[in-house]
Every structure is written in C-alpha cells, then in structure tokens.
Amino acid sequence: MIRVQARTEQSTLMAFASPVLAIVLTLIFGSILFSALDKDPVQALHVLLIMPLSDAYNISEMFVKMGPLLLCAVGLSLCYRANMWNIGAEGQLLAGALGGSAMALQFVDSNSVFALPLTLLAGVVSGMLWAAIPTFLKLNFNSNLILTTIMLNYIALYLLIWAVHGPLRDPQGFGFPESALFSDATLLPVLTDQGRVHLGVVFASVFALVAWLILSKTHLGFKIRVYGSDAPAALYAGFSSKAISWFVMLFAGGLAGLAGVSEVAGPIGQLTPVVSPGYGYAAIIVAYLGRLHPAGAIVASIFLAILYMGGDLAQIEMGIPIAVVGMFQGVLLFFLLACDFFIRYRLVSTRDQVA
Amino acid sequence: MDIDLITQILFAAVKTGTPLLFVALGEVICEKTGVLNLGQEGMMLMGAVVGFMAAYGSGNAGIGIIGAMLIGSAMSLIFGFLVLHLGANQVATGLALTIFGTGLSAFIGSSVVGHTIPGFQPMHIPGLSELPIVGKALFSHDPLVYLAVVMAFLVSYVANRTRLGLTIKAVGENPHAANAIGIKVLRVRYLAVMFGGAMAGLGGAYMSLVYTPMWVENMTAGRGWIALALVVFASWRVGNIVLGAYLFGVASIMHLVLQGMGWSISPNLLAMLPYVATIVVMVLISADQFKEKLLAPRSLGKPFDPRQMA
C-alpha cells in the first residue's frame, strides 16, 4: 500500500522539479488530445515546441513575445510574494499602451531625441497609475484587490477601444479604428537585421535582474519576503505593510505599462484595438511556473513565448484553432498546482514504515 | 421618459440580471462552506458553449441547459480535487480554471460560431402579465427568468431554514469543530463546489441560449467576475444577491436609458459602466472592514486537511 505523508520540511528539490514535471504532463495531455482529434501528435508537438526555435526569424518572434510576458511576470512575482493578489497586469499593460500612444502621437512629424524616452515614460506612468487605483482602494477602503484589478482590466480595454475609435484615431485613416503610424523617432530600435526583436526584451531582462537584486540583496526585498511568508511577524517587526504593498504594486504596474508601450512602440508601431493576446493573464502562469522568482520567470517566459509562437504556427500548419494555447496555459497551471502537492507531502509505502 | 421605455428598461434589466443571479447563487453556497472559487468565468463560458452545442445538436434548448449544468459541475470537480484533496491555493486554482475554461470553450466552440438556435418561448403568466408596465416587464419572460427567482427562494430556504443549511454554515465557520461532530467536511465542500459549477454552467447557458442567443468567444465578458463581486457586497445574503443582480442588470443597460433621454455617449464608454459600478459598490460596502470580517464565512479560502487531524 502507498500512503500520503506530510513532510516535516518543504522539499526544495520538489519546488524545482514541479514546474518541469508540470510541463511534461501538459505535453502528454496535449499528445493525447491531438491523437483524439486525429492530428499526428508528434507533428503537433514539433510544430508547437520545435518550429518556434527553428530559424532566426521565428526565434526573434519568440523574443518579441517573451518581452511583455517577462515584464509582467516579474512585477507579479513581487506582488504575489507580498500577498498582493494583483490580477491586473493585463489592464496595466493596456493602460501603458494607451498612455504611451497618446504621448507618441504628439511626435508624429518629429524626430526629436526626446520622443522615445517621453513615450516610454508615459507608458510606465500610465501603468503605475492604473495599478495605483486598486492599491489605494484596498489600503484605504478595504476593497478586494482581485476583483478591482479584474474590473480595471475590462475598463482599460474599453477605454483603449474608445480612444482608438475616437480621440486617437488617425484623421487620415479612412475611418479605420487605428492611430496614425508612430514616427521612427518614437519607435524602439530593432536589435537584429532580420525579424522584429526590439529593445523591449532587453528592458525585460534588465528589470528581471533588478527585481532579483531587490529581492535578494536589499532590506526592502527582505521585508517583502518576510511579509509574504509570515505577515504577523513582519508587522510585529515594525515593517509597514502599506509601504510594501505600494512598492510592489507600483513596480508591477510600471513594468506592465512598459510592456504595453513597448508593444505599440515596438512590433505594432501604432495604437490598434488589439494590443495584447492576453499577456497579462499568461504572466500569472509565468510567475507561478518561475516560482515567483525573477530568474525563474526568465525561463518560464521563454516557455510560454514558445507556446504562443507554436499556437500561431499550429494554426497555419495544421489548422488547429489558436485557442488551444489558452487551454494549454490553464492545463499547465492545473498540473503545476497538483505537482506542488508533493512539496508539502510525500508518498510512502506502508510496508517500509516502522510501527 | 415615456411608459414604453420604462417597461423596456425593466424588462432588459431582469434579463441581464438573470445570469448574474444564477452564478452568484451557486457561488454563495460554495463560499458559505468556506471555498472561494474564482473559476466562475471559465465555468460560465464552458456552460455557454456546451449548452449551445447540445441545444444545436439536439434541437432542444432544455437538453442544452442540462448539458451546461453537467459540464459546469464537471469543471468544478477539477477545482475541487485540487483545492480540497491536494490543498492547492484556492485563488491560483480558481484563476487556472478561468484560464482553462476560456481557452477550452473557444477551442471547442469554433465549429458553431455563427449558428443560431430557436431558444425559449416567452411564458406569459396569466393575469399578472396583463398588468400595466410591470406585466410586460416582469411577467412575460422566458421560463429561466422565473427559474432563477425560484432558485433564489430555494437557496435562501435551504441556507437559513434547514439542517443542511446549518451543516453548510458549520463547515464554513469552523471546519474543525464540524469535523469533530462527525460532519464530512470535504464531502460537504465537494457538493457545494459542484452546485456552484452547475449554477455557473446554467448562467453561461442563459447567455448563449436566451440572451444573445448564439455562441461567441468570451461572450460572458466578465460576468462571472461581477457575480463574484456581487456575493461579496451582498454580504453572503441571498436577498441582497437578488436585489444586486437586478440592479446590475440596470447598470448594464444604461445605454438604453441614456439613449432614451436623448444623450449621445460613445457605446465603448458606456460598456465600462457595469465594471465601474462594481468597483464603486465594492468600495462603498467593503469600507467597513470590521463588518465584512463579521459577515464573511470564517474559513473562506483556507484549506482543511483531515490528514492533519489524525
């Protein structure tokens, strides 16, 4: 007989093995699903996972998708460590795209050197403002952060759609819901000759490192870790929960805003009604898969970016609906949460047990 | 405003509030046992798509409803297993359920996009439906609108007047004490989670079978989340939930009201109203921290592990 037994200490090995195990289980699930749909599972997995890395163009596209995922996930990792359930990265990203676009459109006929920095700044500030609303409401009016951030995601989306149909629409655009094209001075420089990979992915990597340093080397990071694992102890030690909450939320909002403005000033090059294929929601999975650690988020964001790419390719190559990506994301998080059980518990054979 | 417009607004508000009412009634029972399921949006979408496909395939809207409720509880079992048996974080698992349901519903629904179904015939309640204004607004609806009201009475009765209701309350307030007097805590929670799933499926089916009636990706547009908020600011009381659901119905159709008054505001800005209203009401109601702590089920969101009792 096999029995479940609580571990005396949480397993560090399992904490690292769990994401890998979850990915493997998701792939097995995917193979079974594709077989059931009469699609060759080997070919499907090849298209989903290998093809995104098969040539320089695809790899550069993978980095284009990795940037916003990583930026959002790094911020969320800090939030979740501090017990701030911010589900609003999507809205903060959209706010960044909207604020950044409003600034970028002031420079349509300009090649000022300030165009790009001001556009990025506007994006970051917009994201921070969007994150400040639920933080303020939580700290002063005790509002449920999960619900307010979700509501603000929808509000940001409609605000963006309104702007792109109204004040920010290109007057010469024949009535299409799109802004004017941004001037070259407002666009993020592209890093390679081929493909669209731009400075955004560099921002993401830099901020992942910054967050790592904050978390492991600074007093503030120490406070966040203590507050997250034992809030009463942190309050007893005199840490201000308000200051910690404000910091993680503004940090996350700023990074998500940067992700948003980097999309419109990067691969898109103008404001359109569709800015994000749900990066802000996928970033929640990246954060968990990366064990709420910025370094882990780097690895996890690469995997989720490959999955996004693979979804595009699977639709083109095999006629598999793109929605399969969202489903796999959910399955992955399910398996991860299930595997995490073994961080706290282990299976033992009852025969080996000493009475 | 003329009388016709008032009738129209009331009619639309009841229709818009009905799916919220279904979902919130399921979730309130779930939360009363101490389980917070944030997967409502995902279960609603699955109920909407499966209900639509079943109704489309069979030509019978009733079969669609049954299919939607079954898929809703099946989805909630995944959540139940993870949080009840494996002690997974309820917030993260609920989010996973929403992400999974959103993706899966879009995946399986792509074949029926653009199709339509007959839906339900309105049921005129004899006598009452002849009354001026309210007759057409309240008593000439599809059968599911009345079902939602009946369900509200049932849920309220069971929660407040029966032994089962006491059991639910005991499990939600103090699972350890409930366990000590022989209540199977996990079994009660499983059943509550499944009831929540079935109701969310029903709410989703209302959207795809009656409200629109068709299937569009992501068609619930956050209604599952609004229903969750509704439970919080109804202070877990069924009467408040009914009132709140219909008030939100009004907020969601404000564009009709404003158009009637001759205002012209961008429909995209008006589309924000239900979400803004949710935040505003939440701020107004939750501001009293002490009161909310008093009203919320004590063990809400906390896992219960019978293994640690032995």
Does A277 touch chain B if contact means CB atoms closer than 8 Å? no
Given a cut of 90, whether residue B298 has pLDDT beyond it is no
Does A143 touch chain B if contact means CB atoms closer than 8 Å? yes
Instruction: Count CA atoms within 13 Å of residue B41 on its CB side.
Output: 25
Residue-wise pLDDT for B88-131, tens only, equals 999 999 999 999 999 999 999 988 888 888 777 777 777 777 77
Q: Which of B268, B295, B308 to mutate to test the interface with A (most CBs of A within 10 A)?
A: B268
For residue A235, the model assigns a pLDDT of 80
Average pLDDT, chain B: 88
Tokens of B261: 């008054």
The percentage of residues in chain A with a pLDDT greater than 90, rounded to a whole number, is 58
Distance CA A116, CA A137 (A): 32
Given a cut of 50, whether residue B310 has pLDDT beyond it is no
Provide the chain B residues 202-241 that lie in CB contact (below 8 A) with chain A: 217, 221-222, 225-226, 228-229, 232
Task: Average the pLDDT over A282-292 and give the result.
Answer: 94
Residue-wise pLDDT for A193-243, tens only, equals 777 888 889 999 999 999 999 999 999 999 888 887 777 888 888 888 899
Average pLDDT, chain A: 90
The better pLDDT of the pair B292, A203 is held by A203
Provide the chain B residues 128-147 that lie in CB contact (below 8 A) with chain A: none
Task: Average the pLDDT over A305-309 and give the result.
Answer: 93
For residue A196, the model assigns a pLDDT of 84
Instruction: Count CA atoms within 13 Å of residue A142 on its CB side.
Output: 12
Task: Average the pLDDT over A22-29 and give the result.
Answer: 93
Q: Where are the domains of chain B?
A: 3-122+136-308
The answer to whether A337 contacts B288, with C-beta atoms less than 8 Å apart, is: no
Residue-wise pLDDT for B159-218, tens only, equals 999 999 999 999 999 999 999 999 999 999 999 999 999 999 999 999 999 888 889 988
Residue-wise pLDDT for B242-259, tens only, equals 999 998 888 888 777 777
Q: Which of A76, A162, A279 to mutate to test the interface with B (most CBs of B within 10 A)?
A: A162
Write the residue in A144, A155, A331 that is nearest to B232 by C-beta: A144
The percentage of residues in chain B with a pLDDT greater than 70, rounded to a whole number, is 96
Task: Average the pLDDT over A59-82 and give the result.
Answer: 94
Contacts with A167 (C-beta within 8 Å, 6 or more apart), sequence order: none
Minimal CA–CA distance to A229: which of A62, A237, A281? Answer: A237
Region of poorest pLDDT, from A138-142, A252-256, A286-290: A138-142
For residue A352, the model assigns a pLDDT of 59
With cut-offs at 50, 70 and 90, classify the pLDDT of residue B234.
confident
User: How many CB contacts within 8 angstroms connect chain A with chain B?
Assistant: 139
Given a cut of 60, whether residue A355 has pLDDT beyond it is no
For residue B246, the model assigns a pLDDT of 92
Residue type, A163: A
CA distance A340 to chain B (A): 8
For residue B280, the model assigns a pLDDT of 92
Distance CA B111, CA B215 (A): 10
CA distance B285 to chain A (A): 9
CA distance A319 to chain B (A): 12
Q: Which CATH class is domain B3-122+136-308?
A: mainly alpha
Given a cut of 60, whether residue A84 has pLDDT beyond it is yes
Task: Average the pLDDT over A109-131 and give the result.
Answer: 94
The better pLDDT of the pair A154, A3 is held by A154
For residue B26, the model assigns a pLDDT of 96
